[in-house]
Amino acid sequence: MTEVPVIHGMGSAVKRKEDVRFIQGRDTYVDDISLPGMVYLDFVRSPYAHARIRSISTERAKGAPGVVAVITGKDLQPLGLDWIPTLSGDKMMVLPTEKVVFQMQEVVGVVAESRYAAADAVKLVEVDYEPLPVVTDPKKALEEGSPIVREDKRTNHVFHWEAGDREATDRLFEQADVVVGQDMYYQRIHVSYMEPCGCVAYYDSVKGTPTIWMTTQAPHVVRTVASLITKIPENKIRIISPDIGGGFGGKVYVYPGSIVAAVASIVTGRPVKWVNDRSDDHPSTAFARDFHMRAELAAKRDGTLLAFRVKAVSDHGAFFGDANPSKFPFGLFSICTGSYDLKAAFVEVDGAYTNKPQGGIAYRCSFRVTEAVYAIERLVDIMAHRLGIDPAELRLKNFIPPEKFPYRSVMGWVYDSGNYAGALRKAMEKIGYEELRREQEEKRKRGELMGIGISSFTEIVGAGPSHTFDILGIKMFGSAEIRIHPTGKVIARFGTRSQGQGHETTYAQIIAEELGIPIEDITVEEGDTDTAPYGLGTYASRSTPTAGAAAAVASRKIREKAKKIAAHLLEAREEDVVWERGRFYVKGAPAKYKTIQEVAFAAYTNHPPGMEAGLEAVHYYDPPNMTFPFGSYICVVDIDRGTGEAKVRRFVAVDDCGNIINPLIVDGQIHGGLTMGFGTAFMEEIGYDQDGNIYGANFMDYTIPTAVETPKWETDKTVTPSPHHPLGAKGVGESATVGSPAAFVNAVVDALWPLGVTHIDMPLYPWKIRRLLEEKGYALDK
Amino acid sequence: MFVIPDRFSYTVAHSVEEAVELLHTLEDSKVLAGGQSLIPFMKLGYASPKSLVDINRIPNLDYLDDSGESLKIGALTRISRLCDSELVAKDYPLIHDAALQIADPLVRNLGTFGGNVCHADMGDDLPAVCLAMNAEMVASGPSGQRVLAAKDFFVDRFTTLLASDELLTEVRIPKNRRGCGGAYLKLERRVGDYAIVGVAAQLEVDGDGVCRSVGIGLTSASTKPIKASEAESWLVGKSLSDEVLDKASTLAMNTSNPLSDIRGPAEYKKAMVKVLTHRALKLAYKRARGGL
Ligand SMILES: Cc1cc2nc3c(=O)[nH]c(=O)nc-3n(C[C@H](O)[C@H](O)[C@H](O)COP(=O)(O)OP(=O)(O)OC[C@H]3O[C@@H](n4cnc5c(N)ncnc54)[C@H](O)[C@@H]3O)c2cc1C
């Protein structure tokens, strides 16, 4: 009998299986794919943010060396592909026929034998534009007389959305002792994945099968929508999402490049590759945030928080394409009561079209949760300062207490589990909070500016339960299909798509835990619609809550059958067979056992009479609820009174994502997320001038943090399992990006509060801080 | 819009004379050194020269030589060499400070001293260093060699005194003696970025700490690299008290005329000229007096 090997199940900090290939450059990204006879697609892009197209002349381009096709919006019209549906029930232009609506919009596709020939021919396409008045400010877009972005809509108003109880909230505000309010702008940013968007499309005209390798986070959705639009039978369409170099929400979208590449392949009969250059990608693909809000918080004089309200305008660019669940035009913003036991809340959001690219993506964020957390965490801090109560104390006073879970928020969410005070206390202890406050006090006397900022966020992830969550009608379940081979090795396939999150390891660990099979023996596959079970892909921290749960349940189904086989092999009654990780034995006689591998072999060679051969299971998991990870972050900054630079001296992050599958991966997610939150807080911004010219269109202009300026992250955890998830796990991919920006801003404002500063919009550029220091007479000239 | 340069011809020069000859005869030609500024410019369509003359194979243009009257830096000397040189680190802290803050290691491995000063963008760091150190620029052209003072060299943004068929071969820096010290301070959005503002300060003080000579060069403080001449004149002959430095940095600020751009508004940059000038002079002074 064989020994039970080390399996690296739940809680093992094993290194990621997929990293071997990533580190050695043996991965396959879309741009690594090369097919015989492949041609290249490049785009003429609009120099204007808003212009009527008088004419397009493609003659010279068509005659240029190496050019095989030139595709315009007019060519797409007869196919019904000049506009396609967005994920939010709106539609988006693929290529324009009448006017362009944002700068760098794709206008004409040029296909040629090489990338260079295509790029040269792009310059030969002549487009005659008549510039139109531009609107880039969503508030102005909603005013009477604004230029209209979408002629098919006749208004720039996209939606009005409300959540909560307006009357109850207003009443509490009237009765409150103290009310604080703040206008805030959460700036437009880009996810800045390492790999820009692209695809290789190949239409096999003999079989009538389009195959598209594309940078997508949700291949099945793409297949279904493509089939519904084109009427090509869904079984003939194959979408393959190969290795993905970061998605963060930006690759949930189908961009014009993929549509035009697919059409070009049909037209030319050849495989067509389209891969964005960085300077194409940054200004034309989906943005995140871009949200103007007025948030208000009401409290009693003793610091009891009563009610929260937000009135906001969101900028959606030219098309409403948020990748939101259908019932939530503004995502899950209604989580904005956060970690606090409030009596009422109300939010209302108006969406606006502007002459900018579409987006509003869930950038490392479960559908607008980042904006919600920022709103409440900023306001709680402002309230604390206004009341003269320490921000930690005010939070501790108002947290939802552990005994109230499951907790129904006034917005109707049922929080699964939480211990908010536990996380904050741990963070305070780790950073030496009291000591820091004393230091701050002394420094203030010496005129030195030091700030301490807290963010105690609550996330809502794992969309989602079928009663509430769907995208285009498709329920947001998670799926897993697991097959055990006769030798006890495993292939497991999922309807999600890792973009760097480490699914190949995490899922293998879940199966290892449930079946006692070592992770090396488990191959995890995702991303190919011909082989993977149907699923809605990976975003919004949903993979572990949904597909991870499916993996556990499917494994348990397999274990049920394995038990029957083991009973047969052990010549015992099934009730007498006991499972211990990796083996079955007869109750009372643990020395006599069958390993899972032996059982697997028997499933194909010696299965009980009357039982089907084989050992496999599929599970579509419908989560009973969302999961609610949380944490407390504390940031310490020192401000240079001369330059206005705010340096993060320390940052402690205590996260709670329930039971942890792989601590190394969780830590990696938190480090990455914090760094992205840091970038958002201090340096990232896509801006537009009045004419709709973008600034921040490439990495020279749009700065993202490097290892040099990134603070040292001090991470820690508390563990409060989710009561409804089969493994007690919650999502974690986004917590840090969601939770950290408020901590940075709170720290900087905390430093400046005694000068009368209540808020600074991100990014916290040194020049903004310096300007405030000058206004308050506190700037130094040396 | 796949970003690639327009068509151009490419010729390798093997000697200074050949390079000059090629620059003279080829149509619309440009020198290619490390290519870290020129290639991005061509790629983005800001420059479309018809011919490139590659000078990377010219022997003996990559050197640091302090055997004579001055420190001679060959035009092809890579910025990384300035970072790694003990001589530079020990005797020319201003150059060392600046070199270490230029771009990132990959760019520094290719980018050259000559290319950095000839590109002459307001955001390049070495022009300010040359201005502060009163460097001399040695150029070769069809009619022979000439030596230009740094203060005259930088004519405008992306424009130097060099003719289109002239090659910069060497930069000469007055040797640092006892009592000399320098510092370069650069404010940047993140590491590897061009300066929001940079200040190069070079000082010589006597035994009593009185300023004998001083040079101040400013990066990103105008549309071109500039010298803070009024501040320099004010400082000579004075002890460097805080008040004296205050006045000097105010004068430097008044010399500056920065642009508002993605790196910050003009008022901020002006204020930063003042703050950084004060700090750079202070650090240079400390170094001149033998401190670090
Ligand atoms: C990502 C990035 C970040 C950067 N950040 C910084 C920064 O922070 N600070 C900074 O100072 N620089 C920065 N740079 C610029 C880099 O330092 C310069 O490109 C480099 O120093 C210029 O040298 P080069 O040899 O690459 O010049 P090239 O690019 O080859 O040439 C630049 C110009 O100088 C001309 N030229 C070059 N050599 C000679 C010569 N001997 N005689 C006559 N003309 C000549 C060329 O014709 C061209 O016009 C950055 C560059 C990149 C790509």
Instruction: Name the average pLDDT for chain B.
Output: 96
Instruction: Examine the pLDDT at A3 and tell me if it is beyond 70.
Output: no
> A558 CA to chain B: closest CA distance, Å?
51
pLDDT at B1: 81
A628 is written with which tokens? 């609610």
The candidate with the shortest Cα–Cα distance to A59, out of A138, A119, A126, is A126
Q: Stretch A232-249: mean pLDDT, rounded?
A: 96
Cβ separation A116–B265 shorter than 8 A: no
Q: Which of B16, B110, B113, B119 to mutate to test the pocket of ligand 1 (most atoms within 8 A of CB)?
A: B119
Cβ separation B190–A709 shorter than 8 A: yes
Count of Cβ atoms closer than 10 Å to residue A245 Cβ: 17
Instruction: Examine the pLDDT at A1 and tell me if it is beyond 60.
Output: no
Q: What percent of chain B has pLDDT over 70?
A: 99
Task: List A179's β-bridge partners, or say none.
Answer: A298
Q: Chain A within 8 Å of B243 (Cβ-Cβ)?
A: no
Residue nearest to atom 23 of ligand 1 (CA): B115
B136 is written with which tokens? 């001399």
Q: Which atom of ligand 1 is nearest to the CA of B38?
A: 29
The pTM (predicted TM-score) of the whole model is 0.97
> A706 CA to chain B: closest CA distance, Å?
7
Q: Stretch A378-389: mean pLDDT, rounded?
A: 98
Which helix (H) or strand (E) segment holds residue B217: the answer is strand B211-219
Q: Calculate the CA dihedral of residues A437, A439, A440, A442 and round it to 10 degrees.
A: 130
Looking at domain B180-290, its CATH superfamily turns out to be: CO dehydrogenase flavoprotein, C-terminal domain (3.30.390.50)
By DSSP bridging, strand A713-717 and strand A359-361 are unpaired
How many CB pairs below 8 A link A and B? 80
Distance from Cα B100 to the centre of ligand 1, integer Å: 15
The candidate with the shortest Cα–Cα distance to B40, out of A629, A701, A268, A337, is A701
Cα A281 to Cα A124, A527, A696, B2: the distances in Å are 22, 22, 12, 11
Per-residue exposure over A161-185, b if at least 16 CB sit within 10 Å of its own CB, e if not: bebbbeeebebbbeebebbbebebe
Q: How far apart are the first and last CA of chain B?
A: 50
Q: Which of A278, A279, A700, A708 to mutate to test the pocket of ligand 1 (most atoms within 8 A of CB)?
A: A700
pLDDT at A126: 98
Read off the pLDDT band of A160 (50, 70, 90): very high
The residue of chain A with its CA nearest to that of B192 is: A706
The residue of chain B with its CA nearest to that of A697 is: B262
Q: Which amino acid, A657? A: C
Q: Which of B18, B39, B107, B199 to mutate to test the pocket of ligand 1 (most atoms within 8 A of CB)?
A: B107
Residue nearest to atom 46 of ligand 1 (CA): B31
Report the sign of the C-alpha dihedral through residues A667, A672, A673, A674, in that order.
positive
The residue of chain B with its CA nearest to that of A281 is: B1
Cα B220 to Cα A175, A218, B94: the distances in Å are 55, 45, 17
Q: Stretch A664-670: mean pLDDT, rounded?
A: 97
DSSP assigned state of B207:
T
Q: Which atom of ligand 1 is nearest to the CA of B104?
A: 3
Instruction: Examine the pLDDT at A89 and tell me if it is beyond 60.
Output: yes
CB of B31 shorter than 6 A to ligand 1? yes
Q: Chain A within 8 Å of B1 (Cβ-Cβ)?
A: yes
Q: What percent of chain A has pLDDT over 70?
A: 99
Q: What percent of chain A has pLDDT over 90?
A: 95
User: How many residues does the structure list for chain B?
Assistant: 292
pLDDT at A472: 86
Instruction: Examine the pLDDT at A334 and tell me if it is beyond 90.
Output: yes
A43 is written with which tokens? 């785009």
Write the DSSP string, A567-616.
HHHHTS-GGGEEEETTEEEETTEEEEEEEHHHHHHHHHHSPPTTSPS--E
Cα B251 to Cα A621, B94, B122, B267, B278: the distances in Å are 71, 21, 19, 15, 11
Question: What sections of B15-92 are H helices per DSSP?
Answer: 16-25, 38-43, 79-84, 86-91
CB nearest B268 (choices: A43, A115, A767): A767
Distance CA A176, CA A169 (A): 11
pLDDT tens digits, one per residue of A398-448: 999 999 999 999 999 999 999 999 999 999 999 999 999 999 999 999 999
The candidate with the shortest Cα–Cα distance to A733, out of A344, A300, A249, is A249
* Residue indicated by tokens 């959705």: A221
pLDDT tens digits, one per residue of B107-142: 999 999 999 999 999 999 999 999 999 999 999 999
pLDDT tens digits, one per residue of A471-528: 889 999 999 999 999 999 999 999 999 999 999 999 999 999 999 999 999 999 999 9
Q: How far apart are the first and last CA of chain A?
A: 77
- Which one of A643, A694, A765, A773 would you mutate to disrupt binding with B, by most B Cβ within 10 Å of its Cβ? A643
pLDDT at A2: 53
The residue of chain B with its CA nearest to that of A702 is: B262
State the complex-level ipTM.
Answer: 0.96
A459 is written with which tokens? 């996330």
DSSP assigned state of A466:
T
Tell me yes or no: is domain B64-174 CATH 3.30.465.10: yes
Per-residue exposure over A699-716, b if at least 16 CB sit within 10 Å of its own CB, e if not: eebbbbbeeebbbebebb
Q: Chain A within 8 Å of B5 (Cβ-Cβ)?
A: no
* Residue indicated by tokens 């020319």: B92
In three-state secondary structure terms, B142 is coil
The candidate with the shortest Cα–Cα distance to A297, out of A181, A133, A172, is A181
Measured CB to CB, residues of chain A less than 8 Å from chain B are 42-45, 115-116, 118-119, 122, 277, 279-280, 642-645, 683, 695-696, 701, 703-706, 708-709, 765-767, 770-771, 774, 779-782
Sheet holding A589-595, edge to edge: A577-580, A583-586, A589-595
Cβ separation B262–A781 shorter than 8 A: no
Q: Stretch B41-62: mean pLDDT, rounded?
A: 96
The candidate with the shortest Cα–Cα distance to A68, out of A122, A35, A107, A110, is A110
Q: Which residues of B touch A780 (CB under 8 A)?
A: 275
pLDDT at B3: 83
CB of B114 shorter than 6 A to ligand 1? yes
In three-state secondary structure terms, A749 is helix
Distance CA A540, CA A335 (A): 14
Q: Domain-by-domain residue ranges, chain B?
A: 9-54, 64-174, 180-290
Distance CA A274, CA A41 (A): 5
A325 in Cβ contact with A286 (< 8 Å): no
Cβ separation B242–A122 shorter than 8 A: no
The residue of chain B with its CA nearest to that of A695 is: B262
A485 in Cβ contact with A492 (< 8 Å): no
In three-state secondary structure terms, A444 is helix
A655 is written with which tokens? 């996260």
B104 is written with which tokens? 């990132």
pLDDT at A4: 56
Q: Which residues of A touch B242 (CB under 8 A)?
A: 782
pLDDT at A655: 98
State the catalytic residues of A: 217, 364-365, 734
A15 in Cβ contact with A8 (< 8 Å): no
The candidate with the shortest Cα–Cα distance to B184, out of B246, B129, B243, is B129
Assigned CATH topology for domain B9-54: 3.30.43
The candidate with the shortest Cα–Cα distance to A244, out of A18, A533, A507, is A18
Read off the pLDDT band of B177 (50, 70, 90): confident
Question: Which residue ranges form the domains of chain A, and what is each CATH number?
Answer: 19-26+478-621 (3.30.365.10), 33-132+194-246+251-284 (3.90.1170.50), 373-460+625-775 (3.30.365.10)
Counting DSSP H helices and E strands in chain A, the numbers are 19, 35
- Long-range contacts of residues B226-231, Cβ cutoff 8 Å, at least 24 apart: B226/B131, B226/B154, B226/B255, B226/B256, B227/B131, B227/B132, B227/B151, B227/B255, B228/B252, B228/B255, B228/B256, B228/B273, B228/B277, B229/B255, B230/B254, B230/B255, B231/B255, B231/B277
pLDDT tens digits, one per residue of A709-763: 999 999 999 999 999 999 999 999 999 999 999 999 999 999 999 999 999 999 9
A732 is written with which tokens? 């974690």
> A365 CA to chain B: closest CA distance, Å?
25
Distance from Cα A625 to the centre of ligand 1, integer Å: 57
B26 is written with which tokens? 């080829």
CB of B273 shorter than 6 A to ligand 1? no
CB of B116 shorter than 6 A to ligand 1? yes
CB nearest A770 (choices: B242, B246, B268): B268
Q: Which residues of A touch B272 (CB under 8 A)?
A: 643
Instruction: Examine the pLDDT at A5 and tell me if it is beyond 80.
Output: no
